Amino acid sequence: MKKKHSVQVIAITGGKGGTGKSTLAINLSIALATLGQRVALLDGNLELPCIDTLLNIRPQRTLSNLIEGNCTLPEILHTGPRGINLILGTPYSKTMHGLLTAHHVGIINAFNEIQTEVDVLVVDTASGANDSVLNFTRAAHEILVVICNEPASILNAHALIYTLNNQYKIRKFRVISNRTYSPVEGRDAFSKLLALTSCNVDLSLMYVGNLPEDLAVRYATHKRRAVYEISPRSKFSRELEAIAKKISRWPLHTTPRGHIEFFMDSLIMAPPDHGTKTPG
């Protein structure tokens, strides 16, 4: 029997806007592609997508066309920097407002069409804990929570983690500290989040790394380009490269976990895997 191709699915999420989540999603996708991975990046902020703006791209076909039934998912793929495949939204689209869970499931299932063409799918969710965030996040194999060292960011990240754990029994979360002035500050932010979850023995939070505050990020945003592409030797890019190498070694999930998942067709049918045996 031919072995099915497994895809690593990483949801990049956070409880609060302004943490640099979309910037991380774009640049991590490019860094993983540079390591030889075939990468797709989904703008999962359905009502207020921004990846097209951040990269100065005007796609002809978007998720609106998919929802309206005018296109298949392969037909809306847009080639981005370093050959990454972009699945983008349409700002101010009436079609994308008020979507139901059934629509989210339809988008998730559509990715089965490209499972043999992708090694990694990065999903940039909206901020907060609305239905699209919860559905896209729980459908991923790895959840990467982005925090900044400020009370609102940490408290809102905790609220999102609590919701995902309480409603969907998700136990494992990975955390990145962003926009810090030192590695010590990054660890400090993670420690504050960890302290909020210390009473819940059902949770596992793992620290992935720290991304520094860097003028190169502001410059790239102004130019509407990816930092990793135009400033590859900046502090941000160097730290991101180290994080990408770490992520490329994360184990792949090969069994379903009992709820909606991206690339379900690639998972070997077996008893649900609740994540307790996956290495950190």
Binding residues for ATP, as ranges, are 16-23
- C-beta separation of 96 from 17 below 8 A: no
Distance, CA of 34 to CA of 46 (rounded, Å): 27
Tokens of 27: 């640049």
Alpha helices, H only, 199-256: 215-223, 227-230, 235-248
Binding residues: 16-23
Tokens of 126: 């909206």
Distance, CA of 107 to CA of 103 (rounded, Å): 6
Per DSSP, 81 falls in state G
C-alpha to C-alpha distances, 246 to 10, 28, 65, 227, 235, nearest whole angstrom: 13, 11, 36, 19, 17
Please count the residues of the chain: 280
C-alpha to C-alpha distances, 51 to 35, 40, 44, 126, 241, nearest whole angstrom: 22, 13, 10, 12, 20
Distance, CA of 1 to CA of 31 (rounded, Å): 34
